[in-house]
Amino acid sequence: MAINARANGIYGNGVGARSMAMGGADVAWATDPLAAMGVNPAGLGFLTAPELDLGGIGGIVQGHFNKPGVSSGDLDETPEALPEGAFAIPVGKSPVVAGLSFVPESMLLANWHYNDPPGGLGGTTSYGYQKNKSEILSLRSAFGAAVKITPDFSFGASVGLIYNQNQLTAPYIFQNLEPGPNGPANSALDGAKTLLNLRTSGWGWNAQVGLIYRATPDLQFGLSYESETKVNSTGDASGDPSRQFGLPQGTLPFHYDATVTNTFPQEVMAGASWKFYPQWRLALQVDWIDWADAFHNLPLQFSGGSNATVNGALGSSFEESIPLNWQSEFVYRAGVEFDVTDNLVLRAGYCYGSSPVPNSTLTPLTAAIMEHTLTAGIGYHWKQFQVDLAYQYDLPATESIGASSLHSGEYSNSSIKVSAQTLALTTTVRF
């Protein structure tokens, strides 16, 4: 699972190799089960036979963090990957086509290694050389269906079961401590730094609807909407704030039951697909992603504290809220497809979206700052089989943090540079 911090935050560019190779500009085409179930379920309506897509997506990410004279480090470049797949089948002789899918919908994996910059209460607490790891994973398993209302108009919808997994392993500074039912939180400890290892997982659901209209045999338009997803994930949080209070490390180990409330944004996609020459097709698309309502903050709840001394300061339960303040954004996509022969297809694409992450809350763990993405791909089909390969390069992006609004400002006057390379492979069987 490569970091998916691209022009559209932590969402992918299209679903499947064909869609990715076009820069994600597939809402008006979506002719295969993966793209239909991931981008626009109306695409199912134009399928005429059962079809199975199986594949995967993976890659590596490069990054460098630097706070001059204080700390610097790099991202772990270990390749990671996840599978994806979809199946679609016409329902008898009706105009309805049904589909099932498994898609990694949003992914953020940042695994840094650097010296912990001094911060916390007093501004001098450091936990030395640490792994700083952040993970937000969202996997969507969905059932959908589409009906071809007329030969040129299809409407589709899907319902998805969302699995969300979160991890935060890093020195952490409390931002907004609030009282819990078992004792008041000490707001004077806002800004205190602790080692923290947080792991949670949970389930939610969302819905997607879409339509595709073929104005002419060579020109068609698509529109898709995906609803907001809210997931209350549960797990464990452990850590040790000993150094913050001048004690030897290991003096104040704690454990809590933890709940993280993740909200993934609603999204609107609109686009057109035009076969402007017998061998050429052009696709254009614009997406709107509502990060502002979804990633305003990240609520955390802790309960069942195990350390009496820590409970005396925080209570055995308390609430915390991590400020994010992401901004809603438009993402612009373009893709082109060229039929070299009856069996061989070449594709290329580009997308742009301004970074949704404000510098005021930016850290290496939330560096979804890449804005420009280039894609390319190739497809070959023989009889009922097809293989598609896509490559994506997220151009290097650098952001400088002046004055951080996070407590203690440990990331003030630092810079972060990231880029990523991704491969997707999709194999198709038509029955």
Q: What is the pLDDT of residue 7?
A: 55
Q: For residue 294, give the H/E element and its range.
A: helix 291-294
HEC profile for 14-59? CCCHHHHHCCCCCCCCCCCHHHHHHCCHHHHHHCCCCEEEEEEEEE
Query: What's the whole-number mean pLDDT along residues 349-361?
Result: 94
Helices then strands, each counted (H, E), the chain? 4, 20
Residue 337 scores a pLDDT above 50: yes
Task: Quote the pLDDT of residue 1.
Answer: 33
Residue range 274-297: average pLDDT?
A: 96
Alpha-helical (H) ranges within 190-235 are: none
Band of the pLDDT at 180, cuts 50, 70, 90? Answer: confident
pLDDT at 108: 81
Higher pLDDT among residues 108 and 360, named by residue = 360
Q: Which pLDDT tens digit goes with each residue over 302-319?
A: 999 999 999 888 889 999
Average pLDDT over residues 154-178: 95
Q: In this predicted structure, what is the pLDDT of residue 105?
A: 87
What confidence score (pLDDT) does residue 69 get?
Answer: 93
Residue 408's pLDDT band (boundaries 50, 70, 90)?
confident
Positions of E strands within 340-384? 344-353, 372-382
Q: pLDDT, tens digit, for every residue of 78-136?
A: 888 899 999 999 999 899 999 999 999 887 888 999 999 999 999 999 999 999 999 99
- Selected residue with higher pLDDT from 6 and 66: 66
Share of the chain above pLDDT 70, in %: 97
Q: What is the mean pLDDT of residues 282-297?
A: 96
Domains of the chain: 17-430 (2.40.160.60)
Instruction: Report yes or no: 331 and 8 within 8 Å, Cβ to Cβ.
Output: yes
Q: Please say if the pLDDT value at position 5 is more than 60.
A: no
Could you tell me what percent of the chain has a pLDDT over 90?
A: 87
pLDDT at 6 over 70: no
Contact partners, residue 380, CB within 8 Å, separation at least 6: 343, 344, 345, 386, 387, 388
* DSSP label of 367: -
Lowest mean pLDDT, pick from 273-277, 367-371, 420-424: 367-371
Segment 170-193 shows an average pLDDT of 86
| Predicted pLDDT of residue 403 | 92
Q: Which of 174-183, 239-248, 307-316 tops mean pLDDT?
A: 239-248
CB atoms within 10 A of CB 34: 34
Residue range 193-220: average pLDDT? 97
The predicted structure's pLDDT at residue 10 = 80
Q: How confident is the model at residue 2 (pLDDT cuts 50, 70, 90)?
A: very low
For residue 252, pLDDT beyond 70: yes
For the cut 50, the answer to whether the pLDDT of residue 4 exceeds it is no
